[in-house]
Structure 1
Amino acid sequence: MTEHAIEVRGLTKRYGRRTAVEDLSFVVPRGTIVGLLGPNGAGKSTTLRTIVGLLRPTSGESLIDGVPFSALDNPASHVGVHMDGFGFEAGITARRHLEICRLAAGAPRGRTDEVLEEVGLTADARRRVKTFSTGMAQRLGLAAALIGAPPTLILDEPANGLDPDGIRWLRRFLRRFAERGGTVLVASHQLSELEHIVDEVVVIKRRALFAGRLGDLVTSNGDSLESKYFELVEEVPV
């Protein structure tokens, strides 16, 4: 098993004349929570989509468990993904949606009930997805990511739509996941919340502005993740 759950090496993605990501490199060590940060248009979604095989890089590569996503045997057992654009069929129930995910992942029959309980949706399993609030839909997306019991999660703005109790629940959930040996790469704009849970941060604005341990960026003299983040991104033109 490789030392790092995720490796991004010299990743560049261009759309015609526009460069979304340029020569981006970072790693996500096993058993850590890593925050992927950057302003709108910085390349966060492009990076995540390239890691999970939804986009082909112009150059460079990204690896999960030492191989490209396309080379993974049963990807759902390696990495769970929840990001914008992974929608739901609104007319079906939450349970039915997860059953479809379970069958696609080749997970055992009881896994649907397990993930419903993990994300706190057991009581709502028979409700149609179209009746879900944004926060409930976020929990359902997380449940789908967990269906294959992967050791690694890739999450794009998982706290969007969650109320304060939901955000606290998500924080505790991700921390427990990492404490059990799991790995999380999470993109978010909620800097103050991320500061409570991440071990490492990657700040990007097409390129990596910082990649390393949170403690190496936020020193003991009162700096916050938010203040250091703005110091980095405001120095680099769009």
Structure 2
Amino acid sequence: MNRKANENAIEVRGLTKRFGQRTAVEELSFAVPRGSIVGLLGPNGAGKSTTLRALVGLLEPTSGECLIHGSPFSALDNPATHVGVHMDGFGFEGGITARRHLEICRLAAGAARGRTEEVLEEVGLAADARRRVKTFSTGMAQRLGLAAALIGSPRTLILDEPANGLDPDGIRWLRRFLRSYAERGGTVLIASHQLPELEQVVDEVVVIKQRALFAGRLEDLVTGGADSLESRYFDLVEGASA
């Protein structure tokens, strides 16, 4: 994918991350164009979580760089207004209400006073705003995590398995929400194992197994409609193991 830097919301350039003798990702490069939804795919241990954590400044690359809107995460002015993040390990204080959790996020992001109520409506949790987070189902917690990611009105979202725990209605809602977000000019990088669902929403895919096995448009991977994303994914991953 040869694009000018200003056309990309996210760029990963030659990312290598080693933990002692173990290499999590090696010379990984890909870009996420503005206004698109891109799926980050790979088997367990392929380096997806490492890549996402390097992108949002939770890990220091051994070499290479990760850029969001042209800058490392650490250099972004008020990061919550640039990128919203929802990943495994970003937990909640179970004893507080959903509204209180989002109020804390709003204050940290410097967002306007009414933003909490807006995102509660946006993710369908307005009726549950006074419930304590510890009473939430997995699907409701996913919606709350997405609400927290949206609190700063970011132009880009980085999401790790956001459909986990959602029922079919919730999955359909998430698909429609992400497409609407992209149509309004937002950008989404989404890591997921739910390949059939991803196929219905992404514009591009990045398949990795320490390195990039494919990075490009979905239609270029799933040629002529004869193959599914799932079948082509396994072709790539199993081929890399041979």
Same fold per superposition (TM over 0.5): yes
Structure 1 CA distance for aligned equivalents of residues 154 and 71 of structure 2: 15
Equivalent residue letter for 2:79: P
Instruction: Specify the alignment match of 1:195 in structure 2.
Output: 199
Instruction: Give the Cα separation in 1 of the matches to 2:241 and 2:235.
Output: 12
Q: 1:59 to 1:188 in 2, by over 3 A?
A: same
Alignment of structure 1 residues 17-36 onto 2, 5 Å: 17-36=21-40
What amino acid is the match of 2:218?
L
**What is the TM-score when the length of structure 2 is the normalising length?**
0.97
Deviation of 1:237 (Å): 2.5
Partner letter of residue 62 of structure 2? Answer: T
Tell me the equivalent position of 2:96: 92
1:222 Cα offset (Å): 1.3
- Within 2, Cα distance between the matches of 1:22 and 1:146? 31
Scaled by the length of structure 1, the TM-score of the pair is 0.99
Q: Residue 2 of structure 1: which of 6, 14, 19 is its match? A: 6
Selected match of 1:53 from 51, 57, 60: 57
1:105 aligned partner: 109
**In 2, Cα distance between equivalents of 1:206 and 1:237:** 11
Alpha-carbon displacement from aligned partner over 1:207-232 (angstroms, at most 9, x marks no partner): 00000000000011510000000000
* Cα distance in 1, alignment partners of residues 227 and 101 from structure 2: 44
1:74 aligns with 2:112: no
TM superposition shift of 1:194: 0.3
Matching of residue 230 in structure 1 with residue 234 in structure 2: yes
Q: Which amino acid is 1:99 matched to?
A: E
Q: What secondary structure does 2:102 align onto? A: helix
- 2:119 paired with 1:115: yes
Query: Match for 2:14: what amino acid?
Result: G
1:79-131 deviation line (CA, Å, top 9, x unaligned): 00000000000000000000000000000000000000000000000000000
Give, in whole Å, the separation in 1 of the partners of 2:7 and 2:225: 32
Aligned to 1:220: 224
* Alpha-carbon distance between aligned partners in 2 of 1:221 and 1:6, rounded to the nearest angstrom: 28
Corresponding position: 1:174 with 2:178: yes
Unpaired runs of 5+ in structure 1?
Answer: none
Moved over 2 A (4+): none
Structure 2 residues not aligned, in runs of 5+: none
Choose the corresponding residue for 1:162, options 160, 166, 182. Answer: 166
Find the aligned partners of 1:212 and 1:222 in 2 and give their Cα distance: 18
Corresponding residue to 2:129 among 108, 125, 128? 125
Instruction: Provide the rounded CA distance (Å) in 2 between the counterparts of 1:204 and 1:75.
Output: 26
Cα 1:199–1:221, aligned 2, differ >3 Å: closer, same or farther?
Answer: closer
SS at match of 2:152: coil
Distance 2:122 2:46 in 1: 33
Hey, what's the Cα distance between the residues in 2 that align with 1:49 and 1:163? 27
Residue identity opposite 2:103 in structure 1 = E
Q: What is the aligned-residue RMSD (CA, Å)?
A: 0.9
Shift of the 148–19 alpha-carbon distance from structure 1 to 2, 3 Å rule, reads: same
Distance 2:225 2:200 in 1: 17
Tell me the matched-pair count. 238
Alpha-carbon separation, structure 1, partners of 2:210 and 2:102: 35
Distance 1:230 1:6 in 2: 26
Distance in 1 (CA, whole Å) between partners of 2:109 and 2:137 is 26
